[in-house]
């Protein structure tokens, strides 16, 4: 997985296999002592439960990985952008969770889930017809990207284009294809892509241009995108970013709804944080929880990146809090 701004995975660990989304940043090394060392206080012991809920990131630790359509500049006709923006306007994170649940839990195909969503929301209502022609929508090899690709297909077809959805591996594979015009449209993640393109344009050690402010992130993304022949539609309210989950039973027992609550009530010896092995040294994972929230777990459990190990450890009461992706289909419905 190419390290950028995120580390966690979506449902069933699909994003890790794709190698597409971000890491938690570049700080630290595997030999760094976990910042939880020296935690004081009683903490909050794990509480088993069947349902996972995300704690609100109320001090904006994570960057703005809002879903945004990325378009080859030569294909960016006004009708194309307007159609793609219909998807952005229709989606929020709760709806994205529902779509992921339909595929990853209920085992519908991405095309069926997308068609049902389009029908229930009137997604194609009022779409203006463009000049037509063939368009290829690229999708990464994990279900969320494929669902979004199918939604893009639906609206672009309604605008009069002949559209196919092509699955093209990870970002290192599909981004050059988007630049060259081999594919014309890809669903993307604002903060992750901004830093990916910035490193491509300015070098691997270039400072990050993503932030917790969406306008700042999009300004940086549009600037570097212009340099490589890409343009962007309107970002969606839907985000897929690092998040920290607990069981609903844990949230009720300890009265926590936000990461600030977690830091205030649960810093201490009994609290077990779970995540991938690199989490203790990453600024969007345990290191960030210490620096931004002053949250200090008593113990760190090395698991996977938001996949089945972490989610099972939460539901069975092996860990108190774990790193997940905010649009995971196994999270509680809104």
71 and 104 co-located in one domain? yes
Looking at the predicted structure, is the pLDDT value of residue 40 above 80? Answer: no
Instruction: Indicate whether 77 belongs to any domain.
Output: yes
Quote the pLDDT of residue 30.
29
Instruction: Indicate whether 332 belongs to any domain.
Output: no
Query: In the chain, where does DSSP find H-type helix?
Result: 14-18, 78-90, 93-104, 110-121, 143-158, 171-180, 190-202, 214-227, 248-254, 259-266, 286-293, 308-315
Quote the pLDDT of residue 39.
59
Q: Which whole number is the average pLDDT over 138-166? A: 97
Instruction: Indicate whether 165 belongs to any domain.
Output: yes
Q: How many domains does the chain have?
A: 2
Q: pLDDT grade, residue 47 (50/70/90)?
A: very high
Asked which of 197, 232, 267 is the last residue of a domain, the reply is 232
75 and 224 co-located in one domain? yes
Quote the pLDDT of residue 12.
32
Chain centre distance of CA 186: 15
> How many other CB atoms sit within 10 Å of the CB of residue 71?
26
- Half-sphere CA count of 69, side-chain side, radius 13 A: 30
> How many other CB atoms sit within 10 Å of the CB of residue 162?
11
Name the region of 207 (left: φ>0; alpha: ψ -120 to 50; beta: rest): beta
Q: Which whole number is the average pLDDT over 103-119? A: 97
As a whole-number percent, the residues of the chain with pLDDT over 70 amount to 87
Instruction: Indicate whether 2 belongs to any domain.
Output: no
Report the distance separating Cα 201 and Cα 107, nearest Å. Answer: 40
Residue matched to tokens 């591996």: 169
Asked which of 187, 210, 232 is the last residue of a domain, the reply is 232
Residue matched to tokens 């070098």: 203
Q: Which whole number is the average pLDDT over 114-134? A: 97
Indicate the range of 35-39, 88-92, 306-310 predicted with least confidence. Answer: 35-39
Instruction: Indicate whether 202 belongs to any domain.
Output: yes
Chain centre distance of CA 159: 28
250 and 162 co-located in one domain? no
Chain centre distance of CA 20: 10
Report the distance separating Cα 169 and Cα 182, nearest Å. Answer: 14
Report the distance separating Cα 278 and Cα 189, nearest Å. Answer: 22
CA nearest neighbour of 134 among 149, 110, 153:
153
Parent domain of 141: 67-232
Task: Return the CATH number at 25.
Answer: 3.40.190.120
Q: Which whole number is the average pLDDT over 49-72? A: 96
> What is the distance between the terminal CA atoms of the chain, rounded to a whole angstrom?
30
93 and 159 co-located in one domain? yes
Q: Tens digits of per-residue pLDDT, 171-228? A: 999 999 999 999 999 999 999 999 999 999 999 889 999 999 999 999 999 999 999 9
85 and 133 co-located in one domain? yes
Indicate the range of 21-30, 45-54, 228-237 predicted with least confidence. Answer: 21-30
58 and 73 co-located in one domain? no
Write down the mean pLDDT value for the chain: 89
Quote the pLDDT of residue 333.
57
Instruction: Indicate whether 3 belongs to any domain.
Output: no
182 and 88 co-located in one domain? yes
224 and 288 co-located in one domain? no
Q: pLDDT grade, residue 278 (50/70/90)?
A: very high
Q: Which whole number is the average pLDDT over 124-152? A: 96
Quote the pLDDT of residue 41.
80
Looking at the predicted structure, is the pLDDT value of residue 22 above 50? Answer: no
Report the distance separating Cα 249 and Cα 258, nearest Å. Answer: 15
Report the distance separating Cα 198 and Cα 69, nearest Å. Answer: 18
Report the distance separating Cα 237 and Cα 201, nearest Å. Answer: 27
Looking at the predicted structure, is the pLDDT value of residue 50 above 50? Answer: yes
CB of 13 within 8 A of CB of 264? no
Q: pLDDT grade, residue 259 (50/70/90)?
A: very high
In 3-state terms the chain splits into helix, strand, coil percentages (rounded to 5) of 40, 20, 40
119 and 31 co-located in one domain? no
Instruction: Indicate whether 284 belongs to any domain.
Output: yes
Burial status of residue 122 (CB atoms within 10 A of its CB: 0-12, 13-18, 19 or more):
exposed
What pTM was computed for the model? 0.84
> Looking at per-residue confidence, does 332 or 179 come out higher?
179
222 and 114 co-located in one domain? yes
CA dihedral 304, 306, 312, 314 (to 10 degrees): 110
Quote the pLDDT of residue 21.
37
83 and 119 co-located in one domain? yes
71 and 218 co-located in one domain? yes
Q: pLDDT grade, residue 64 (50/70/90)?
A: very high
Q: Which whole number is the average pLDDT over 304-313? A: 93
Asked which of 232, 258, 275 is the last residue of a domain, the reply is 232
Instruction: Indicate whether 110 belongs to any domain.
Output: yes
Task: Return the CATH number at 227.
Answer: 3.10.105
């Amino acid at each position: 997985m190419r390290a950028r701004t995120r580390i966690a995975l979506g449902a069933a660990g699909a994003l890790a296999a794709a190698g597409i989304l971000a890491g938690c940043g570049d700080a630290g090394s595997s030999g760094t002592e976990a910042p939880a060392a020296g935690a004081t206080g009683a903490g909050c012991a794990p509480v088993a439960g069947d349902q996972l809920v995300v704690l609100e990131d109320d001090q904006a630790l994570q960057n703005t990985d809002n879903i945004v359509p990325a378009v080859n500049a030569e294909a960016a006709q006004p009708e194309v952008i307007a159609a793609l923006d219909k998807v952005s306007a229709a989606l929020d994170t709760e709806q994205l969770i529902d779509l992921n649940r339909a595929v990853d839990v209920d085992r519908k195909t991405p095309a069926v889930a997308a068609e049902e969503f389009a029908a229930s929301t009137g997604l194609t209502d009022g779409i203006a017809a463009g000049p037509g022609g063939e368009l290829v929508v690229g999708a990464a090899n994990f279900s969320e990207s494929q669902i979004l690709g199918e939604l893009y297909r639906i609206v672009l077809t309604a605008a009069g284009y002949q559209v196919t959805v092509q699955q093209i591996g990870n970002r290192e594979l599909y981004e050059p294809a988007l630049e060259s015009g081999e594919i014309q449209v890809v669903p993307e993640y604002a903060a992750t892509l901004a830093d990916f393109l910035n490193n491509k344009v300015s070098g691997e050690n270039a400072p990050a241009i993503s932030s917790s402010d969406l306008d700042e992130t999009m300004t940086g993304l549009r600037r570097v995108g212009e340099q490589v022949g890409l343009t962007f539609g309107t970002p969606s309210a839907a985000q897929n970013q690092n998040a920290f989950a607990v069981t609903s039973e844990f949230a009720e027992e300890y009265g926590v709804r936000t990461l600030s609550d977690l830091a205030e009530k649960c810093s201490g010896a009994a609290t077990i944080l779970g995540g991938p092995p690199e989490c203790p040294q990453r600024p969007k994972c345990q290191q960030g929880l210490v620096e931004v929230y002053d949250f200090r777990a008593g113990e760190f459990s090395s698991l996977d990146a938001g996949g089945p190990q972490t989610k099972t450890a939460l539901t069975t009461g092996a860990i108190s809090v774990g790193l997940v992706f905010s649009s995971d289909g196994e999270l509680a419905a809104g």
